Structure 1
Amino acid sequence: MNKEHYRVLLVDDEPWNRDILRSLGEWETLGMTVAGEAEDGEEAIRLIEQHQPHIIITDMRMPGIDGVELLQTLSGQFPHIKVVVVSGYDDFNYAKHAIRHRATDYLLKPVNPDELNAVLAKCKRELEKAESGPEFWEPYPAAFSGEFALFQQQVRLRFNDLNVQGLRELFQQLEHRLEINLIHRPQQLGRIAYELQTLMGELCVSNGLCDQPSAAVLPPSVSLASISSAVDWVSAPYYQALEQLIAQRKFKNKLNLDEVKHHIEHHCMELITLEQLAQIFFVSKEYLSKMFKKEYGLTVTDYVVQLRMTRAREWVLDEQIPFKHIAEMAGYEDVSYFYRVFKKHFGISPGEMRKGEAGLQNPRLD
């Protein structure tokens, strides 16, 4: 690949946005070439097979398959492709989707040329590193890809719940599933270990164990000699980090409601329950519930709903965001349940609110 150019695919429904990216990128200097362009996520997925891109630069808001769905597909089916998200919508939850699905970076329109080329250079460094380790490129068997994504979600929940035993059981299950799916080659095991290190870094940052995650590294070859040794190598730091987090929480003299409130605000778009909070802060759920309502005048559940609905209202008023994406970003997998919660909170449905706002912005003149 040193002699060949890295291939880049541009994805944006506006041709002039793609033209801008073409003009801003220092393609020749970076050893890259724009191999193709797509107007939406569906076309992008078709062009991946044709052009075999190393890098995809995509907008988030597009008709049909938008950036959110495209990121999900790329993360599951084409994890070796580097993805750069470019969007004119300065919103944390779009950035959260980018982070969740392993995008290399998130840039806002209008794109700054220096920022764009710095991100492209970062992609190039990662691709060059990947060429010395095929574990970054070899795809998982289709049957295992979904299983591994679910496993990572469960690891996140167990870690945030401070559930050491549950985490150990998960890694035992992982070892078993790797045996069943015949994932035993060093390249495959190395990639799994690398991705789980990246996840642990994210968990350590979100739980205050560090300001920024340590760079993921490849396991030593001896640790990739078997499934058991690979799982032991990658799981040990999880247990150490979790024990450290538990120790920090246990040595606190009393319940710090500001920390509880901060934790809720940070995780309100995720699954969060009173039982989980009580376990995290080492108090009974009854005591936590009583003290939280006494301090803030509402229950934990009501506060979570309040936070979610505040953000959801902003998205509802933006006609370009589909309601199904708003429900997902607000932490609701069931769209109909999101509708019920929204209407109970505001007294009108999301559709009625959006329609009413559109009427105010475009009043009739007759």
Structure 2
Amino acid sequence: MRVLIVDDEKHVRQAIQLLANWKEYGVTEVLQASDGEEAVSLIQKHSPQIVMTDMRMPRKDGAALLTWLYEHAPEIKVIVISGYDDFELVRHVIRHGGMDYMLKPVQPDALNEVLEKAVSCWNKEEEGRRRMTKQRIQVNEMRPYYADRLFSDYLGGQGRKEQVLKQLEAEGLLPAANPLCTVAVLAIGQMDMRLYLKFKHQQELLYFTVMNIAKELLRGRGIVFRQLNHHAGEMVLLYNGEPKALQALLQDLNEGVYLTLNRRFHAGISVPHAFPDEWADAYEEASNAVWQRNVLDPAYIHLKQQERFGSERSSKLSSLDEQLRLAALSGSEEQIGSAAALWINKLRERQSITPIELDQWQAELEWIIKQWMEEGQDGGANASEAAAAREEDAILSLNHEGGMDWELYEEQIVQKLQGISTQLIRKHSKDSFFVQDIAAYIERHYQEEISLQDIAAKFYLSREYIARKFKQAYGVTVLDYVSRYRIEKAKLLLHNPHLRIAQIAEMVGYQDEKYFSKVFKKVEGMNPGEYRKEHTLGI
């Protein structure tokens, strides 16, 4: 804190400087001026918080200095120290914001009391100023977000549209009156991995950079805002200029972004729509245009009318579920790489791939892996739930031009499979134990009536899960395993010529001799009597 002492008598200034307990009140610097003119110069240069001034001085006197302070620096606390007990002087001090009027000679206690009061008052008001400044900064920082929220809510149909429009109008955010508006959507979310990593913890800076360039180019021909209700990151331009000029503007925007970020972004454009009634429809058109574009096409601007590849059937990663699972279960880098390459080669045959398909395939792979780990558990998530639960900043496999990056995509699949491999092997090992337990149970109880439902109840697992896991482990169904085990036992018993076939059927769990013979022939290719003759001929 700084204090300025103003008096035309040097010994008075020095006396005041000696009498005050400056350090006690946080004063770190004391300045001196011989008159009002010199005081004004020092105030402008050093900005003191407190001024102690005489009233009768040459050139600019104390009254003139108070008037100047009142007009130019009203926050400064003024203490008058004068040798004149003059009512008019006192009244002038009060009218112009002076805190106190002291008479010479100054007493130390009185001086320090007034100084303490002035310091306390300054600190209190300064705290208020800081608080107000902070609030203004917060308001200014929140204003762009508030505008983005209003626009996004209008597009998403959240709340009453009429009310949102009134708020936008009250904030002066609506574009100039025009019966038609064209919407462009800039796909910030379709960035490449390198740019994503650069701005991973500074997403706001990325949007701020692009938005500033867009605002400079719009020049009153529209507005730009961030779509907050879209997880994949979109910036929306509501353009009320000549529709044909929007493409040129977007090209200029891309050049400006390229100079700043060394990137160009893809944008979708709607056809002109009535504003504001059809604004949301125009946004959907523009958003669909950029998210349904062909990533194999080098163009950056995408129009709603371009229906280029709607007839191509969408590929499903789940069609390779078993190959991918076995590769991950093998733990072999070579097999995992081959499984990933199988999918990549399938996609390379396509004429088009859209960003929305890339996003869906990423979600599908996560869902498939989730299913592998949740097999046997109730309440597994479906594909749409898995997609909804994904991280908002999921990055597509695109290169720096927004095109398909095959190498990156294959690498991402391989990393996913390698990442789950150890867990899947561990889980499979655990699963193998209960499958072996089921097999042992069948071997102990093969003579009894055995059904899949009985086994499911015995082991507290679903029939579907047991059937799938048993088939994976033994290559046959549970019922086929039961049949084959019974037939193996029957083959041993058939070597005994004293046992009738009906008796053998009953001993291995079949109450019906005809059914036993049917099953036996299906497994061995001959009926029990033929088997007995062939294998007991030499006995």
TM-score range, shorter chain: 0.3 to 0.5
Q: Considering only CA atoms, is the larger Rg found in Structure 1 or Structure 2?
A: 2
Q: Provide the TM-score with structure 2 as the length reference.
A: 0.24
